[in-house]
Every structure is written in C-alpha cells, then in structure tokens.
Amino acid sequence: MYVKYDAYEHATNAASVIFEAFPIRSPLRGRRYAVRYRMTVQGELLECDGDLDTQIDTLVTAYAVDRKTLGLYHDDDSATRHLLSHTDPNLVEGPYVLYRSWPRGDLAEYAAFRTYKIIMEAIYDFSEIVDPTCQIIEYTERIEYFGTGGPSWVARYDQTGVYRTQVIDPLTPV
C-alpha cells in the first residue's frame, strides 16, 4: 500500500496513515450536518532512496498546494476508503494542509533519514441525510408583546424624591 497526494507518491509501505472522522453538529438542534475528516501521514525519508535534501524539497513542494486528493491506495492503484478527494460532490472545504512538521530531532536525523508528519483536513456535507427538514441547521422564534395599544409609561422618582408616573408614548403597538 502507498500514500499519494495529487501526483506525489510516498514510497510503498513507507508512510503510516491515521484517518479520523469528526461529526459537525448544529449547536442548537444537535443534528449532524457535516463531517470533518482528518488524515495524518507519518513516515521517514531515507538517504538510501536518494538525496535527502531533494526528497525533502519534493515533499514540501507537493504539500504546499491545497485542494488536491490525498489517499491510501492498494498496490493495484485502487483507492481505499481512506481518501480525501477534492472532486467529491459533497466537499465543502479542503482538503487542506492543517499541519506539517519534522517531529524528531535526534542526532541521527538528517544523517541517514528524516521523519515527517503531515495532517490534512477536509469537510464534507453529511450525505446520509434523507429528511428534508435537516437542511435547516438552526431555527429560532421570538414573540414579543409590547402592549395592548394603550399608553406606555414609566414610574420614577423626581428630583425632590416624589414617586411619579410619566407617559412615554400615548399609544403602543399591539
């Protein structure tokens, strides 16, 4: 198996993949309306596979561009379910590089190998929705009564300390 991002192909069986799905829910209704997929690719670039600087430059250049397909593929070039496709009709945002690092700083790093970690995310509509009312993500209503049509008044103390009522508006909306 191998990992491929657009035209960049990681060495066969050289990168590990963690694939996570996080449902995105409406804060008020609790309904799931989208899914955030996160794919973490970790691996090592080896000096024996060629010049390490060239491999690092190629990796950085490949992942510098967002909105390309990232996936885990079988050796016969068929895609697994672990795929962040930029052509999916349910795609809302991404795939984009969330994070890229060189997580280890051992003394042997850069002499014979270089470890890397890349995290990519994409947000997709929740395609399993069949209820048409689920298209409403949030809905609130508010009913206010301002009065019965009569005067609006306030009661307050005047400067001498006497408690008085004062008409603000002779008619209020119903």
Q: What is the pLDDT of residues 138-152, one digit of tens each?
A: 667 887 765 667 787
Which contacts of 85-92 are long-range, i.e. CB under 8 A and separated by 24 or more positions?
86/122, 88/124, 90/124, 90/125, 90/127, 91/122, 91/123, 91/124, 91/125, 92/34, 92/123, 92/124, 92/125
Contact 125/92 with Cβ under 8 angstroms? yes
Q: What pLDDT band is residue 127 in, cutting at 50, 70 and 90?
A: low
Low-confidence winner among 11-15, 55-59, 106-110, 125-129 (lowest mean pLDDT): 125-129
Task: Classify residue 10 by its DSSP letter.
Answer: P
Q: Tell me which residue range forms the domain holding 59.
A: 2-127
Q: Does the reported pTM lie above 0.85? A: no
Mean pLDDT score, 100-109: 80
Q: Backbone dihedral region of 85: left (phi > 0), alpha (psi from -120 to 50 degrees) or beta?
A: beta
Structure tokens at 110: 């850069």
Q: Which residues pair with 19 in a beta bridge?
A: 39
Q: Is there a domain that residue 90 lies in? A: yes
The total number of structural domains in the chain stands at 2
Structure tokens at 28: 């008020």
Q: Is there a domain that residue 133 lies in? A: no
* Buried/exposed code over 30-66 (b: 16+ C-beta within 10 A; e: otherwise): ebebbbbbbbbbbbbbeeeeeebeebeeebeebbeee
In angstroms, rounded to a whole number, what is the distance separating the alpha carbons of residues 110 and 23?
A: 39
Residue 122: predicted pLDDT? 93
Same domain, 91 and 153: no
Same domain, 108 and 160: no
Q: Is there a domain that residue 138 lies in? A: no
Rounded to a whole number of angstroms, the CA Rg of the chain reads: 30
Burial class (CB in 10 A: 0-12, 13-18, 19+), 173: exposed
Decide if pLDDT at 27 tops 60: yes
Task: For residue 114, give the nearest of 60, 41, 43, 17 by alpha carbon.
Answer: 43
Same domain, 59 and 94: yes
Same domain, 122 and 39: yes
Q: Is there a domain that residue 31 lies in? A: yes
Residue 136: predicted pLDDT? 64
Mean pLDDT score, 78-85: 89
From the centroid of its chain, how far is CA 144? 37
Same domain, 121 and 151: no
Residue 158: predicted pLDDT? 84
Mean pLDDT score, 113-133: 79
Same domain, 90 and 165: no
Residue 133: predicted pLDDT? 58
Query: How much is the mean pLDDT over the chain?
Result: 84
Same domain, 98 and 24: yes
Same domain, 41 and 100: yes
Q: Is there a domain that residue 134 lies in? A: no
In angstroms, rounded to a whole number, what is the distance separating the alpha carbons of residues 146 and 149?
A: 8
